[in-house]
Structure formats: C-alpha cells, structure tokens
Amino acid sequence: MVKALTLKVQFYDNRDIYYPGQILAGYLDTDIRRDVQINYISVRLLGQANSSPPMGMVDDDDDDDDDDGDRDDYQRRTSTVKLDENQYQASIIDRIIVPWGKGNFADDQKPIRHDILTAGHHRFPFAFVLPEEGLPSSVKAGSTFTINYQISATIVFPHRPSYTVHQSFFIFEVVDVNLPRYVKSSKTDTKEIKISKLCCLHGSIRITASTNHVGFRPGEPVCMNVRVQNNSHKIIRYLRAKLIQIVEIKAKLKQFNRTIEHICSEKHSIKSIVQDEELIWEKEPLQIPSVPPTVNSCPAISINYAVEIQAVLPRKYHLVVRIPITIGTVRLFINTSASVTAYRSGVDTNCRLDGSESVKQQLKGTISDAVAFKDVELDFNERRQASL
C-alpha cells in the first residue's frame, strides 16, 4: 500500500513557526498509482502536553521525619507506582477537517458513501485559524515534559487500515514584554537577619534588591540593583546572583506533582564583605541565555523564572532574595486581526498560498462556514484591551 500511495503534509511558505491567532495553512500532496476506493481524507490539528515527573525527585509532604524507616517506606511505595499514574497528558487543541470525501463525519462515525480517488497526483489544501488564547509555547525536555503540536493527515479506506502521516510545527505564545506590566521595575525586596553572639544581639545583615524590568527576552541582560549591608561581626564571603528556571510538572495523581529548579546563569562578586561594610550593585547585568519562555497557560506544565540574590555566609548559610521575572517571546505586536482580514480579502501576506490565486480562492471549500471569522475579528480588540 505504501508503494502504491504516498501522502505528504506541506505548510505554505515552508513555515514551521506560528503564533496564536494566525492562520495555519498548507496542503496535502498524494500520489496514487491506480484508482482506489476511499472513505475520506481528514486533516487533524492536534496539540498535547505530556508530563512524566521523575520518580527519583519525589518529595513526600506527608512525612516530616527523615529517618531510615520513613525512607524505606517511601521507596516501597514509589517502586509500586504504575507508569500511567505518574504520567499526565492534557489536550491543548484538537480540531479536524475533511478536505476530501462525502458523508457524515462526527466522532467515530464514518461516511456511508465510498468515493473513488483516481490515479495520479492530487493536492488538497487545508487551513486552521489558531485560537488567540490557550496555546502555550512549544517545549521539549526529553521524556520529562513536552508541549507538542502537529498536523496529522489520514486516508481512511473502507476495507483496509488507514494511512496516516504527521508533520510537527512550533507555537510561540505571544508574551509581549513591552506591555506596561512588564516594562515597570520590579518591587524592591528586602531581607534581614539578626546576628547574636553569646546570647546577645550583635548586629544584622540586610540585603535589598530589585530589577530594572519585570519582562525580558532571551539574550537580554537583567539589570540588578542590589545593596548588601553587613552590620555584624560575620564575614559575607561573596554575593551571588542566579537566574532560576522553575518548572512545575503535574502527574495524573496529585501527590506525584514535582517542582524542578534549574540554574540558567549566575555570577559572583569578587570581594568579601566584612563588618560595617556594604556592597552595591547598580544596574549589574545578568545575562539571559537561550531558554523557553514563561508558560502559565498549560494544564500539565508551567515554566517560570526568578532572579535569586544570595549573600553567602560561612557554614553554608545564605541570606536569599528571590525576584520573579517573565521571559517573553517577541516584542513585536502580532496583528491577528490583520491576518484574518487578509485571509478574507485575499491579500497576499504571510498567509499567501499561491502567487496566481488569492488565499480565499485556493481555500474555498476547505474550511466550513462554521469557522468563527466574525468572532475572531470583532472580539479581538475587546480581548486585547481586557488582557492589558
């Protein structure tokens, strides 16, 4: 069957990166050597989030003691956990259209009528309007967690197994760090500890920190304003700043949810801070490497970031200030309304399908009239204002 039939998914302009609210358009190319009876050809837009928290990182909140008995009991319980209890899968988007074939298509119901697809080369265009909200950015971190999007094309035969091919693409959630809530400076956070000696109060150590913005992009520096005051007899060995990635992974069972923290970048001060001295960082840069953006719209996974300032004292004691920040995707505003208008008017923009035909003409009949273009266009400005 494979030799007699080929099927391939192609995106227009060879794009593989899209933003919420844009139009994902493409076509199916199929070559058939001889006439074949087919129920229908379907195109499915599927987005899924999969998480599998590592069992070696389980934190048992019910056990307060760390004795050997509790540890052995923990190992016995985690070793008997089934794989499906530790995994979690959430559907982000699931839409389907039928570019070829007639009959009722709903759930598992197949068309009653079988049509003949003649031998030769055939091209079937398709298009989906991506929703403006609820599409988190594509993320992949091995088998621990993934957010994946793909187009699945299926040819359904009446008396033989179906033939399916997949084509993945990437979604970048629009996190515009130019919005006022991201441009403003972070709240100044202050931590202080009292130092005692021979049961008497003997000074304090105080740290105050803030960042120049709340929102950043990968490749930009986080400018930190930090002031450390040492009014005690202890020596602060050095000041350390870290960019922390905080990943919350959800499992099928709530008790197996995990939080993983990863250091993306860090820097240290050179000098130590002795008694009655202070250290000031003014607009001290901390570089942001290439990292995934902040993700909070996914039911299975969330990714957040924070700048952590540590005053490192002897005996592994740290005075810590943690400032939450947001990692965005693009600064440019993605004009969804313009994309929809271009689609409806046939304007040759990013949704261009062919140089000789308009978008509307080529996709005529591939998207049902039930697609809510009107809602997308009319409600766009209201939703944008509400998000601000």
- Digit-coded pLDDT (tens) for 123-148: 999 999 999 888 999 988 766 788 99
How, if at all, do strands 317-327 and 215-216 pair? parallel
Residues 357 and 308 in one domain: no
C-beta neighbour count of 330 within 10 angstroms: 16
**157: confidence class by pLDDT, cuts 50, 70, 90:** confident
Query: Helix 380-387 to helix 336-345 angle, to the nearest 10 degrees?
Result: 170
Specify the pLDDT at position 60. 40
**168: confidence class by pLDDT, cuts 50, 70, 90:** very high
Which CATH number does the domain housing residue 92 bear? 2.60.40.640
Q: Within the chain, what is the greatest distance between any pair of CA atoms?
A: 94
Specify the pLDDT at position 253. 72
Specify the pLDDT at position 181. 82
Residues 31 and 166 in one domain: yes
Residues 237 and 312 in one domain: yes
Q: What is the pLDDT of residues 246-293, one digit of tens each?
A: 998 877 777 778 888 999 999 998 888 888 888 899 999 999 998 889
Q: What is the pLDDT of residues 31-83, one digit of tens each?
A: 988 888 888 899 999 999 888 766 554 444 444 444 444 434 433 333 333 44
Q: Does a structural domain hold residue 360? A: yes
Q: Does a structural domain hold residue 364? A: yes
Residues 30 and 142 in one domain: yes
CA torsion sign for 312, 316, 319, 322 is: positive
Specify the pLDDT at position 332. 41
Residues 278 and 363 in one domain: no
Q: Does a structural domain hold residue 71? A: no
Q: Does a structural domain hold residue 76? A: no
Specify the pLDDT at position 142. 66
- DSSP assignments along 210-273, one per residue: EES-SEE-TTPEEEEEEEEEEEESS-B-EEEEEEEEEEEE--SSGGG-EEEEEEEEEEE-SS-B
Give kind and range of the element (H or E) at residue 70: helix 68-79
Pairwise pLDDT comparison (370 vs 89), residue with the higher score? 89
Instruction: State both tokens at 8.
Output: 């391939």
Residues 186 and 149 in one domain: no
Question: What is the chain's percent helix, strand, coil content, to nearest 5?
Answer: 15, 45, 40
State which of 298, 327, 356 marks the end of a domain.
327
Q: Does a structural domain hold residue 82? A: no
Specify the pLDDT at position 84. 54
**196: confidence class by pLDDT, cuts 50, 70, 90:** low
Give kind and range of the element (H or E) at residue 15: none
Q: Does a structural domain hold residue 61? A: no
Pairwise pLDDT comparison (239 vs 176), residue with the higher score? 239
Q: What is the pLDDT of residues 212-242, one digit of tens each?
A: 989 998 888 999 999 998 888 888 888 999 9
- DSSP assignments along 85-126, one per residue: HH-EEEEEEEEEEEEE--S--BTTBPPS--EEEPSEEEEEEE
Residue 176 has pLDDT above 80, yes or no: yes
Average pLDDT, stretch 83-92?
71
Residues comprising the chain, all counted: 388
Strand partners, 147: 49, 139
Residues 97 and 222 in one domain: no
Mean pLDDT of the chain, nearest integer? 74
Give kind and range of the element (H or E) at residue 154: strand 145-156
How many structural domains is the chain composed of?
2
For 47, list phi and psi in degrees, rounded to 5. Answer: -130, 130
Residues 195 and 319 in one domain: yes
CB 140 within 8 A of CB 146: yes
Q: Can you give the residue range of the structural domain that contains 341?
A: 5-52+87-174+334-387
Residues 251 and 192 in one domain: yes
Residues 44 and 129 in one domain: yes
- In angstroms, the CA 88 to CA 325 distance is 27
Out of 85-94, 99-108, 201-210, pick the least confident.
Answer: 99-108
Pairwise pLDDT comparison (71 vs 149), residue with the higher score? 149
Residue 388 has pLDDT above 70, yes or no: no
State which of 282, 301, 327 marks the end of a domain.
327
Residue 347: is it exposed, middle or buried by C-beta count within 10 angstroms (0-12/13-18/19+)? middle
Residues 266 and 211 in one domain: yes
Average pLDDT, stretch 350-363?
34
Specify the pLDDT at position 201. 61
Q: What is the pLDDT of residues 301-343, one digit of tens each?
A: 889 999 999 998 887 678 899 999 999 886 544 444 444 333 3
Specify the pLDDT at position 200. 59
- In angstroms, the CA 125 to CA 165 distance is 15
Radius of gyration of the chain (CA): 28
Q: Does a structural domain hold residue 231? A: yes
Specify the pLDDT at position 224. 93
Instruction: State both tokens at 314.
Output: 């002897």
Residues 12 and 33 in one domain: yes
Strand partners, 260: 247
Please give the DSSP secondary-structure letter assigned to residue 12: G
Q: Does a structural domain hold residue 138? A: yes
Three-state SS letters, 157-210: CCCCCCEEEEEEEEECCCCCCCCHHHHCCCCCEEEEEEEEECCEEEEEEEEEEE
**Highest-confidence range of 11-20, 85-94, 195-204, by mean pLDDT?**
11-20
State which of 327, 354, 371 marks the end of a domain.
327
